[in-house]
Homo-oligomer: A and B are copies of this chain.
Amino acid sequence: MKHLFIDMPLKANTTINLERNLARRITRVLRFKQGHKFVLFNGKDGLFETTLTDIENGVATLGDCLQQQPAPQHTALYLALTKRDAFDRAVRQATEMGIDHIYPVETEFSVPDKLKTERLDTIIQEAAEQCERLTLPILHPHQPLKTALEQAEGKIFWADESVAKENTLGQWGSNPTTLNDGLLIGPEGGFSDTEKQQLRSHAKIVRVGLGQHILRVDTAVCVGIGRFFDHLQA
């Protein structure tokens, strides 16, 4: 059954008026008919069986709670601002993979298009619908790298290209990962020498590698998160 995100409170066995955009999408894009069954989630209350009961007025009736809302997690992706397409893909893929917080980070070599929060929220919602996750990652306001490092609660695993070039995987193994930890992915072109120095000497930073090749931002995000979660599970 199709999973759809809705930004309003959900409770089993109640009737709701769908917000206008969602009602349009359901009838015009997805072409649901009266009586069509689907599932709704809002990132807070769980997953609810839903029936479209009144197309004209966009009314839906919630049935049972099919899945309880999972407990909030705290894994974070610190993602250097970079060109729109790559940033969009990275945000989508991080959502699919289950990251909980996304912190856009300003760096010296960032060549960002303007960060359009609304577009990114849509990307996040659609990715969550698609991959059937019940929580949405929180997209935080962008901030300088230095501020992000100061405010981080756990360790930050930095995918450092120079570790990759040494053809090692760095310190993944020797640093037990906790749910407050995060992953840092630099911009296209990498970090500046000054930034690299700051990162290398920073107490919260753990230098890790992602393999021997230089990866584009979106690929680095996927490979990095994969490895990050492996170490959470280990």
Q: 1/0 per position for A73-106, CB-CB distance to B under 8 A?
A: 0000000000000000100110011100000000
User: Is residue A214 contacting chain B, with contact meaning CB distance below 8 A?
Assistant: yes
Stretch with Cβ within 8 A of B (4 or more), from A20-28, A139-147, A217-225: A217-225
A216 within 8 A of B: yes
- A: number of interface residues (CB 8 Å): 25
Residue A131 at the B interface, CB < 8 A? Answer: yes
Q: Is A72 an interface residue (CB 8 A)?
A: no
How many whole Å from A70's CB to the nearest CB in chain B?
10
Establish whether residues B211 and A98, one from each chain, have CB atoms under 8 Å apart when the complex forms.
yes
Each complex incorporates copies of this chain amounting to 2
Residues of B within 8 A of A213 (CB): 96-98, 131-133
Q: In the bound complex, what is the Cα–Cα distance between A131 and B130 (angstroms)?
A: 30
Q: Is A176 an interface residue (CB 8 A)?
A: no
Q: Chain A residues in contact with chain B, CB under 8 A?
A: 89, 92-93, 96-98, 130-133, 211-216, 218-219, 222-223, 225-227, 229-230
Closest 10 CB pairs of A and B: A222-B222, A131-B213, A226-B226, A223-B226, A131-B214, A93-B219, A96-B219, A96-B215, A133-B213, A132-B214
